[in-house]
Structure 1
Amino acid sequence: MLGSAPFRESAVHGGNTRSSIPLGTLQERTGAAGARRRERGQDPRPRWGNLSGPSPERPAVPRGIEQESSVSRPRRLVLSAAALGFALAASGCAYFSPVQTHDFYQAGDGNNVSIHQAGSLYAGVRNALVVAEEGGGDPAFSGTVVNYTDETITVELEGVAEDTTLFATSVSVGPRESVELGRTEGRQQVPITGIPTSPGHLIGLQVTAGGETNTVNVPVMPISLEHYGPEAQNA
């Protein structure tokens, strides 16, 4: 078209064609913008520079590196704090729970009784019980006397039922040793002739050592049980 300003050729980048701009209009815009930048003491060259490259005012982000969103940072901090709190709570269970190996528990059919002196364990009787026939005949006391000191001690045992003494015996125990009581071979036998009760009931056991006395109820078990019966007792 005659009299019109020449056009700048279209630029093709990646298969896309940029719009054609009249060359005269482009030169006028560029010149005016350069004059304004020159007045402000700036570089008068056009800022767009290389159309195919990144702007000099904002450097391009390297490919393959994702920029972290500002929204994800608080969420990550919350998750980290929650994980830390859970770890502290889980590890604190062992601190507030008692250590089971420090406490005596009843693992057998009988009962336990302990004697303390000055806050320390002095002596004890473990798994104490009486086996007898129906009606209280042919009774036998069974248990283990333990010495927790570094010297030989004597432990007194007394069985009581209905205000009547059923048996009484003394057991000498060496330092850090134990003595088995019962009618089986290798055990110290406790003299007892009869009890006024049947299996399934309780009798009192009074334990005295080092000037201290403690009392506990022990069960009367049927002699028909295989590990308490006559065959086991006479083995």
Structure 2
Amino acid sequence: MKLSSDLSAFQARLGYDFRDPSFLVRAVTHSSMVSAHRDDNQRQEFLGDRVLGLVMAEALLSADAAATEGQLAPRFNALVRKEACADVARQIDLGAVLKLGRSEMKSGGRRKEALLADAMEAVIAAVYQDAGFDVARQTILRLWGDRINNVADDARDPKTALQEWAQGKGEPPPSYVEVARSGPDHQPVFTIEARLKSGPSQRATAGSKRQAEQAAAKALLEELTK
């Protein structure tokens, strides 16, 4: 199989040339493009998540031999969560080569954080399937780069941190309410309000619900912990 010019350019950004290009083609194919002759990347996403997890666990243990499990866990979560995977995907412009159905194209799928994160995990799996664990490890460590050494002990995502704060105060988990939506269908903008049952709330606006929820949670947590 010969790769298209855009996928060939993507290989350069990824830093790995596939011996069997079909692994890469499948990894960038979203479920909205599935047909009788085309597989999507969902199974690779499942595999890539596990490969990424093992690589990050090894890397964190190696980076800090004295760290406790309690210190390692939040660092690990920060490195493998959707936001981190999507950030790496944007770094190598993975969105530009995704194969999406018409509905996903119209709704701005190339910029959706969850979709980018899932595709990044699928690409990791593709490298693993094509070249084995050692090459996959090298690729992941190169792409994640300084994120590994710079991750903080308190690097929990804001929604998790806010939920833990609420539980510590004996409150139920916060709720997230979409209070506004604007922009065209292919590039929507969401305003989300994070609310605690006791009354405090904060709003945030972003290009995805997930990003807006995280930003609202961060703003509310900052207000509560002043």
Normalised to the residue count of structure 2, the TM-score between the two structures is 0.23
Structure of higher RCO (CA pairs closer than 8 Å, 6+ residues apart): 2
Q: Which protein is bigger by CA-based radius of gyration? A: 1
Q: Which has the higher helix share?
A: 2
Normalised to the residue count of structure 1, the TM-score between the two structures is 0.23
